[in-house]
Amino acid sequence: DAGVIQSPRHEVTEMGQEVTLRCKPISGHNSLFWYRQTMMRGLELLIYFNNNVPIDDSGMPEDRFSAKMPNASFSTLKIQPSEPRDSAVYFCASSLDGPEETQYFGPGTRLLVL
Amino acid sequence: SQQGEEDPQALSIQEGENATMNCSYKTSINNLQWYRQNSGRGLVHLILIRSNEREKHSGRLRVTLDTSKKSSSLLITASRAADTASYFCATAPTAGAGSYQLTFGKGTKLSVIP
C-alpha cells in the first residue's frame, strides 16, 4: 500500500490567497484526520471524519478553514483567505476504525503564507 | 490542552547507549501510543499499549505503562544514529470521556551521536 498521500508537499502563497490541501487515505480506513503542527503549539487536531462524515471539527481555527470528504478516498482542507499565522505543516492521517486506533500519517504539506 | 507531556524535551546520547523517554498524562485513557517523527517527515507509529497492559516490547523498544501514576516510558536499547528523531506520546481517552481525540504531547527530541 502507498500509505497516506498528501499534495502538495510544499506550498508558498501570499496572504489573502486560497489554499487547498489534498489527502488520499489508506484504502479501507474509515477514519481520517487533519492535523496542524507548529513549533509553538505542537500537533493539533483540526478535524476528524468517520465514514466521510465530519465528527469533530472543534479544532478548526475559524471560519477561514473548511474541510470536506466527498468520498472514502479523498479529502481536502481549504484555507480562504490565508494569513501568515496559518504557516505550518499540515498532516493528514487515517486509521482503520476510529481515533483511538493506530493512525497512519502522510508526509505533510509545508505551508508558508507570506 | 496537551494531555501527554514528554520528558525530557531533548536528549543526547552516544550510539549504543539506551535512551529513556517519559510521558505523563492527566485523565483516564483507553490506550497510549508512541510515535516517531524524523525531521521533515510525518509521524510513524511505533507501539500501542492498552490501559490493561503494563509492558510491551517491539524489537529494541520497550514501553511501560503505569495507570496509577498516569505515566509511561519508552526505552530504546542499543541506540543507533538512525534513531535520531522526535518521539511523541499520544493518549486515547476512555469512552465517555467527552472527547475521543488522540492527544499528542510536544515530544522528546532524541539525538544519537555516532
Q: Which residue of B has its CA nearest to A90?
A: B42
Q: Which residues of A touch B46 (CB under 8 A)?
A: none
Instruction: Report pLDDT for B97.
Output: 60
Q: Report DSSP state, residue B94.
A: P
Tell whether A108 is within 8 A of chain B (Cβ): yes
Identify the pLDDT of residue B99: 65
In this structure, the dihedral spanned by the alpha carbons of residues B47, B53, B58 and B64, taken in order and rounded to 10 degrees, is 90
With cell 544519537, the residue in question is B112
- Looking at residue A16, its pLDDT comes to 97
List all residues of chain B from 42 to 71 with a beta carbon under 8 Å from chain A: 42-45, 48
What's residue B1's pLDDT?
A: 43
Instruction: Name which of B34, B45, B58, B102 to mutate to probe chain A: the one with the most chain A Cβ atoms within 10 A of its Cβ.
Output: B102
Q: What is the pLDDT of residue B76?
A: 98
What pLDDT, on the 0 to 100 scale, is given for residue B93? 83
What's B81's DSSP letter?
G
Whether B104 and A103 lie within 8 Å, measured CB to CB: no
Task: Tell me the average confidence (pLDDT) per consecutive run of 10 residues in chain B, 114 residues long.
Answer: 76 97 92 94 95 96 96 97 96 73 90 96
Burial (Cβ within 10 Å: 0-12, 13-18, ≥19) of residue B108: buried
Contact call for B42 and A98, based on CB within 8 A: no
The Cα A11–Cα A36 span in angstroms is 14
- Residue-wise pLDDT for A16-68, tens only, equals 999 999 999 999 999 999 999 998 889 999 999 999 999 989 899 889 999 99
Interface of A with B in 31-50 (CB under 8 A): 33, 42-43, 45, 48
* Average pLDDT over chain A, rounded to an integer: 95
Rounded distance between C-alpha atoms, residue B16 and residue B9, angstroms: 21
pLDDT of A99 over the 80 cut: yes
What pLDDT score does A87 carry?
97
Give the separation between CA A106 and CA A109, rounded to whole angstroms. Answer: 9
pLDDT of residue B100: 67
